[in-house]
C-alpha cells in the first residue's frame, strides 16, 4: 500500500501531538495541571483520538469505552463516574449506539453540553440494533472531515475556553490529513476486482459506500446474539452466490458463528476492527485504525486474485 503524503502543516501537527496521542485516554495518573484543563468526554476511542488532535494540550479527553468492549453492552464504572465531574462537553455518536452517554451524571443535567454526531450526519438505513439509522459514521474519513469536524469545532469553540486560532489551525491540519488518508485508502482498494464481503455486524456500510465495496450480509444482526440456523443458511447461500472469499470477524463480537460460516464456505477469516484502542499495535490511533482496516480489506477481498 502506498505511503501516506501529509501536508507540511499536518506533519508538524503530528510531531507536536505524538506525545499527547500516545498517552491520551490511557491509565496513567493525571498530572496536576490536568485538573485545571476543561474535560471533553466521549464514548469511543476513534472519536477520542480525533478530539485529542483538535484540543491539543488545552483540554483533557476522557474515553469511556475500554478496549475490546462493545458500546451496546457497556456500563460505566464508578471510577469513570467520578472522572466525569465537571466535564464541559459530552460527545456521543448517537443513532442508538451509545445513548447511555446522554444519561450519565453531568450529561443528563447541569451545564454540560451533549453533542450527538448522528444529528449532523445523514444516517444510512438502520439495522436491527439501530432503528434510527446506522451509526458507524466515523469509519468514513470524508464524513469525518466534512460533517463531524465542523460540528466538533463549533462545540469546542462555543463551550470550552480554547484559543480559537490554535483550534482552527489544528482542525484545518486534521482535515488535510483526512483528505490524504482518503486518497491513500482509495489507492489501496481501487485495484480490487472482488468487492463483495460478509461482515461480523453492520459496521462497514459507510466505508463500503465511500470506496465502492458491497456488504452482502452480516453474521450478527443483533449485538450479543448468534444468528439462527435459518439465518446462517441464508447467509451461506448468499455468500456462495456472490463468490465471497473471506469472512470478516471483529474483536468486539463472538467468533463462533463467523468461524462456522467460514468453515462451511471453506474460506479464511480476517479481522476488521471498528473501534481500536490504546495499546493495540497498528490500531492505536484513528489514522492507524483506518489503515489497518484497509489492509484487512485488501487481504480478504484479494484472496482470489493473482
- Point out the domain boundary residue: 164, 186, 208: 186
Is 204 in the same domain as 245? yes
CATH number of the domain to which 64 belongs: 3.40.50.1980
In a domain, 110, yes or no: yes
* Most confident segment among 11-20, 129-138, 240-249: 240-249
As a whole number, mean pLDDT of residues 104-128 equals 85
In a domain, 266, yes or no: yes
Is 150 in the same domain as 249? no
What pLDDT does 239 receive?
94
CA of residue 194 relative to chain centroid, distance:
25
**What is the rounded distance in angstroms from the CA atom of residue 266 to the CA atom of residue 100?**
40
23-70 per-position pLDDT tens digit: 444 444 445 466 678 999 999 999 999 999 999 999 999 999 999 888
Is 150 in the same domain as 234? no
Is 142 in the same domain as 220? no
Reported confidence tier of residue 131, pLDDT bands at 50, 70, 90: low
- Structural domains counted in the chain: 2
Reported confidence tier of residue 9, pLDDT bands at 50, 70, 90: very low
Per the CB < 8 A criterion, the answer to whether 265 and 244 are in contact is yes
* pLDDT of 124 above 80: yes
* pLDDT of 72 above 70: yes
In a domain, 1, yes or no: no
Q: Cell triple for residue 22?
A: 500516545
For residue 143, give its domain range.
Answer: 8-186
As a whole number, mean pLDDT of residues 93-115 equals 87
User: 3-state class of 97 per DSSP?
Assistant: coil
Is 282 in the same domain as 173? no
**What is the rounded distance in angstroms from the CA atom of residue 206 to the CA atom of residue 136?**
7
**What is the 3 state secondary structure string of 39-78?**
EEEECCHHHHHHHHHHHCCCCEEEECCCCCCCCCCCCCCH
Reported confidence tier of residue 304, pLDDT bands at 50, 70, 90: low
In a domain, 88, yes or no: yes
In a domain, 2, yes or no: no
What pLDDT does 107 receive?
86
Per the CB < 8 A criterion, the answer to whether 103 and 74 are in contact is no
Is 121 in the same domain as 202? no
Is 236 in the same domain as 147? no
* pLDDT of 221 above 50: yes
In a domain, 42, yes or no: yes
135-163 per-position pLDDT tens digit: 999 999 999 999 999 999 999 999 998 89
- Point out the domain boundary residue: 138, 164, 186: 186
Is 182 in the same domain as 197? no
Q: Give 174's Cβ-side CA count (13 Å radius).
A: 29
In a domain, 78, yes or no: yes
What pLDDT does 31 receive?
53
In a domain, 240, yes or no: yes
- Point out the domain boundary residue: 169, 186, 203: 186
Of 93-107, 164-178, 205-219, 261-275, the least confident: 93-107
254-280 per-position pLDDT tens digit: 889 999 999 999 999 999 999 999 999
Is 34 in the same domain as 150? yes
What pLDDT does 226 receive?
82
Per the CB < 8 A criterion, the answer to whether 212 and 195 are in contact is yes
* pLDDT of 126 above 70: no
Of the candidates 7, 1, 10, 93, which has an alpha carbon nearest to the alpha carbon of residue 47? 93
Q: Cell triple for residue 215?
A: 456488504
Is 230 in the same domain as 111? no
156-174 per-position pLDDT tens digit: 999 998 899 999 999 999 9
What pLDDT does 132 receive?
76
Q: How many helices (H) and strands (E) does the chain have?
A: 10, 8
* Length of the chain, in residues: 306
What pLDDT does 53 receive?
96
The pTM of the full predicted model, rounded to 2 decimals, is 0.86
Is 49 in the same domain as 159? yes
Is 45 in the same domain as 170? yes
> Measured between alpha carbons, how far is residue 199 from residues 115, 140, 145, 203, 274 in Å?
29, 16, 25, 8, 11
As a whole number, mean pLDDT of residues 67-91 equals 87
Amino acid at each position: 500500500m502506498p505511503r501516506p503524503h501529509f501536508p507540511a502543516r499536518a506533519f508538524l501537527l503530528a510531531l507536536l501531538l505524538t506525545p499527547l496521542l500516545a498517552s491520551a485516554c490511557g491509565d496513567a495518573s493525571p498530572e496536576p495541571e490536568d485538573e485545571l484543563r476543561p474535560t471533553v468526554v466521549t464514548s469511543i476511542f476513534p472519536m477520542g483520538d480525533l478530539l485529542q488532535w483538535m484540543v491539543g494540550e488545552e483540554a483533557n479527553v476522557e474515553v469511556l469505552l475500554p478496549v475490546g468492549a462493545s458500546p451496546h453492552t457497556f456500563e460505566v464504572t464508578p471510577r469513570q463516574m467520578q472522572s466525569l465531574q465537571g466535564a464541559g462537553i459530552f460527545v456521543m455518536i448517537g443513532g442508538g449506539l451509545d445513548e447511555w452517554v446522554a444519561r450519565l451524571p453531568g450529561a443528563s443535567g447541569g451545564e454540560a453540553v451533549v453533542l450527538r454526531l448522528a444529528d449532523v450526519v445523514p444516517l444510512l438505513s438502520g439495522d436491527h440494533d439501530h432503528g434510527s439509522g446506522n451509526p458507524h459514521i466515523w469509519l468514513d474519513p470524508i464524513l469525518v472531515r466534512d460533517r463531524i469536524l465542523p460540528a466538533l469545532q463549533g462545540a469546542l469553540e462555543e463551550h470550552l475556553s480554547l484559543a480559537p486560532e490554535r483550534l482552527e489551525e489544528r482542525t484545518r491540519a486534521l482535515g488535510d490529513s483526512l483528505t490524504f488518508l482518503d486518497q491513500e485508502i482509495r489507492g489501496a482498494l481501487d485495484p480490487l476486482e472482488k468487492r463483495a464481503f460478509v461482515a461480523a455486524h453492520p459496521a462497514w456500510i459507510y466505508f463500503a459506500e465511500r470506496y465502492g465495496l458491497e456488504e452482502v450480509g452480516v453474521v450478527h444482526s443483533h449485538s450479543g446474539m448468534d444468528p439462527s440456523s435459518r439465518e446462517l443458511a441464508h447467509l451461506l447461500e448468499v455468500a456462495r452466490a456472490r463468490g465471497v472469499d473471506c469472512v470478516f470477524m471483529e474483536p468486539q463480537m463472538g467468533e463462533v458463528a463467523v468461524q462456522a460460516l467460514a468453515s462451511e464456505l471453506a474460506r479464511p477469516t480476517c479481522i476488521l476492527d471498528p473501534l481500536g484502542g490504546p495499546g493495540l499495535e497498528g490500531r492505536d490511533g484513528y489514522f492507524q485504525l483506518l489503515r489497518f482496516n484497509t489492509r484487512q480489506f485488501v487481504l480478504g477481498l484479494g484472496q482470489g486474485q493473482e
